[in-house]
Structure 1
Amino acid sequence: MRLIDFFPETSISIKNSARTWQEAIDICMAPLLRHHVVNENYVQAIKDSTVNNGPYYILVPGVAMPHARPECGALKTGMSLTLLKNDVHFGEDNEPVRLLIGLAASDANSHIDAIQALSELLSEDEHLESLLRAETEKQLADIISRV
């Protein structure tokens, strides 16, 4: 399965900004809610976990992958991608984030292929820079489709 296949239609977006990290999570997870990949409990579980554990899902500078445990409300396996034109901070001591990759996995194993493909994408500085510089949703989808 290719990385792009994990993204439901209209789950890749560019937004101007998010006022708070909570709003950034809402924006990022909205397509997965719309497509019934997750339920509201899942989104709340991400926020609760962030409050309790910090933003453990910041992968590399500028990139976060908000997610929670499957039993918290993941109905299917899927991903979303939101590029913010302006950084959002996940607390005073954390890196600013511009790229959010929402992840939902219906069980402990179903997301492994997606994570492997995503790590390939993010391990290439050129791909990461292209994602952060993208100006349209189509550009983002094209970059993801290369993996």
Structure 2
Amino acid sequence: MTLPELADRAIVLRARAADWREAVRIAGDALVDSGCTTSEYTDAMIRMVEDHGPYIVIAPGLALAHARPGGAVRCDGLSVVTLAGPVDFGHAHHDPVRVVIGLAGVAPDAHLAAVAALANAFNDSAAISAVADAPTREAVRAILERSERS
């Protein structure tokens, strides 16, 4: 499984977020801007953390924001947000977060496959730092493609 296409509008570099909600909203807005979701999906991503806690912080410095597939998802999509300053999500071991990935899947099986592909892409913790420090959108794409292949 490969990751969904990463449009320019889906990559936000050095965003400023006051808290985790704002960081997730930026990732959700990037999914909306790239045409993959509606704003209702962004709201659902925030509710997932409010309801279930910071389980989306899957590795030191990395959050994977997502919600269930449904009518607010127009197509499989991915967004990448790097933060100008790290944000606490309330995770006991992996805070603070520097990179927020937004993930939207049309169907449950595609959603799970994309999660698996992201896990492979970020299996090397150096990939998280490399994405966090990436100077351009092209650099973000290159890091993810290289990490996904290895």
TM-score, length-scaled by structure 1:
0.87
Per-residue deviation at 1:74?
1.6
Q: Which amino acid aligns with 2:120?
A: E
Per-residue deviation at 1:97?
0.7
Q: Which amino acid aligns with 2:58?
A: L
Once the two structures are aligned, what percentage of the paired residues are identical? 29
Structure 2 residue runs without a partner (length 5+): none
Aligned position for 1:103: 103
The higher relative CO (CA closer than 8 Å, separation ≥ 6) is in 1
TM-score, length-scaled by structure 2:
0.85
Deviations 1:26-58 (A, max 9, x none): 111112112321112111111122112112111
Displacement over 4 Å in runs of 4+? none
Aligned position for 1:80: 79
Q: Which amino acid aligns with 2:78?
A: M
1:52 matches 2:51 = yes
Aligned position for 2:26: 27
1:145 matches 2:145 = yes
Aligned position for 2:5: 6
Counterpart Cα distance in 2 of 1:91 and 1:127: 22
Q: Which amino acid aligns with 1:67?
A: H
Q: Secondary structure at the match of 1:82?
A: strand
Moved more, 62-71 or 13-22: 13-22
Root-mean-square deviation (Å): 2.0
Structure 1 residue runs without a partner (length 5+): none
How many pairs are equivalent?
146
Q: Which amino acid aligns with 1:141?
A: R
Given the superposition, is the C-alpha separation of residues 142 and 92 from structure 1 closer, same or farther in structure 2, using an over 3 Å criterion? closer
Q: Which amino acid aligns with 1:18?
A: A
Given the superposition, is the C-alpha separation of residues 132 and 23 from structure 1 closer, same or farther in structure 2, using an over 3 Å criterion? same
Counterpart Cα distance in 2 of 1:78 and 1:23: 20
- Kept in 2, the 8 Å contact 1:28–1:80? The answer is yes
Q: Secondary structure at the match of 1:71?
A: coil
Q: Which amino acid aligns with 1:34?
A: D
1:91 matches 2:90 = yes
Counterpart Cα distance in 2 of 1:12 and 1:136: 9
